[in-house]
Amino acid sequence: MRWVESGDVRLAVHEEGDPGHPVVLLLHGYPDTHRVWDEVAALLRDRFRVVRYDVRGAGASSPPRDRRDYGFDRLLADLGAVIDSLDVPKVHLVGHDWGSLQGWEALGRDGIGDRLASFTSLGGPGLRQVGDFFRHGRRRDVAAQRLRSWYIGAFLLPVLPELAWRSVMPRLVSRTLRRGEGVALRPGHPAATMAADGRNGLWLYRRNMPATLGDPGLDPRVPGIPVQLIEPTRDPYVTPALAEAVGRWAPELWRRKVAAGHWVQRSRPGTVAAMIGEFVEHVEGAPAGRGLRRARAGGAFGGRLVVVTGAGSGIGLATARAFAAHGAEVVCADIDLDAAKQAVDAIGRDLGGTAYAVRVDVANADQMENFSRNIIADYGVPDIVVNNAGIAVAKRFFDHSLDDWRRTLDVNLWGVVHGCRLFGAAMAERGEGGHIVNVASLAAFAPSRVLPAYSASKAAVKMLSDCLRAELADQGIGVSAVCPGFVSTAIARNAAYPTESMREEAVRGLARRGYPPERVAAHILRAVHRNEAVVPVNLEGKIGYVLSRVSPRAMRGLARLSVVAENREIAGNDRSYRRR
């Protein structure tokens, strides 16, 4: 630690890392100290010169003699003094909470903005931008943000906030960290000085909030400095609408999300450090990684990496093409490599998209292990995984052999289990969320006399999806079970039947139905965009889903009516898994 003088205050500055490396300056918020960054700093110091300091009146830094000297002019003078002491032309600034607000204000200030090579904000925009949002945003969005900002009014009151910091507030902050965000308390955070820091820091609100938020003459736009917004999706103080609006004011913006609460640098230090490091290295000249490309890409799924199994035909092919048409890079996986290559060629030729062909048997655990490992190593952790591959066997229960059961469950159920387990774990570790789509069927909730193995496997897929959705919600990972009815694909011709006449009848039935797989793909994209749990597709799928919930007895009765109808249902879930 060393001291830097700024006016009448002494700032406690901490440094680590090689002095010759690019400088990353971490600025803490309220009521924290520099120690809130301990975990992130430890992960960055091998590649960067990491600098932290306690802002005036916090931690070891002294408070000003006049308690009103917490305005932005004074705060940015402190920041400038620290930067001057580093003897470098520019620094990469990272701010959290009030540190972020100072960073946004610094971007447009002469004499300080030109010292910033980049800025990473953990949270939302600055006060100028919030004021503009309050004046010009949609009424309901503004109302929602004002509701989340209720505490600001409380901090502006006289006397009472000081009394709260002398009594209940330190315990309340500690409880919020531990119970609300799952962050373990440790030496240094919360700081031993938190009660005094909280009282001093009240003047951050009192000196800056009314003056900045209420001044319509302040320009909310920032110059073309690279800005990375790391948005904790469970931050109780910033609405998604406010974070979304940042693009209005920052022309060079990378926006990224982390499934975490307000103190994201404590709950997800590895993810935050990786994002900071990747961004700084890119600004310094390194190629942009997938995360940064995704943060800048256009289109509904621009820059996303999507893995689709059974992508050689049917719903899988239509889904791969739909994601590619919306800007995603797609891994087309199929047991038939030639079919996967044809899908990739068509995506490049027809859509100008980027896709990769991979052969994999989803029923083979070893192949799926290698498949997931290679995809992550070559292309990165997928943002979306569509477990679509499947097969059908159309026989009565006593006509099913053990091999029929094994093959059906290995592909339809275990293939989904492998995809969810391997890719879902990588998504959770990355910490940036994601989505898993498991393509089930109308058969998941419609019993059938001739599809016992198929129906059982699809019902299991739906229940697995419900279980995973509950488990992965806190990781920001959505899970959807898509349940199509009768769809015009080749699964009927590829299914196993007791007789050829049943096969031909099923094929003719699907052709007459005339429901193309492209419409199912549209439902899949919508399910990801809206994070829908269960998605019945087409009329019979929706009717079957409603009946299964309203009158399960009626569904059991329908299962007994017509073997012909059941023969047609085997084609209802259009997977393109090629039987060997």
234 DSSP 8-state letter: T
Cis peptide before 31 (omega within 30 of 0): yes
- DSSP alpha helix (H) spans, 61-138: 72-86, 98-107, 127-136
Residue 540 CA, distance from chain mean position: 33
The whole-angstrom separation of Cα 176 and Cα 266 is 13
**CA neighbor of 52 nearest in space, from 106, 20, 16, 8:** 16
Q: Is 121 helix (H, G, I), strand (E, B) or coil?
A: strand
Burial code (b: 16+ CB inside 10 Å, e: under 16) for 51-60 equals: bbbbbbbbbb
Q: Does the annotation count 454 as an active-site position?
A: yes
DSSP 335: S
Asked if residues 186 and 16 have their Cβ atoms less than 8 Å apart, the reply is no
Q: Could you list the beta-strand ranges (E) of 7-70.
A: 9-16, 23-27, 49-53
Query: What helix, strand, coil percent values describe the chain, rounded to 5?
Result: 50, 15, 35
Any idea how long the chain is?
580
Identify the three-state secondary structure at position 526. Answer: helix
Q: How far apart are CA 404 and CA 401, in angstroms?
A: 5
Which residues in 488-543 belong to E strands, given as ranges? 534-537
Token pair of 169 as six digits? 């507030």
C-alpha span between 118 and 96 (Å, rounded): 15
User: 454, 497, 515, 545: which one is catalytic?
Assistant: 454
Which residues does 482 contact at the CB level (< 8 Å), separation at least 6?
Answer: 437, 438, 439, 440, 520, 523, 524, 527, 535, 537
CB within 8 Å of 316: residues ≥ 6 apart: 308, 309, 310, 332, 334, 386, 388, 389, 575, 576
Active site residues: 454
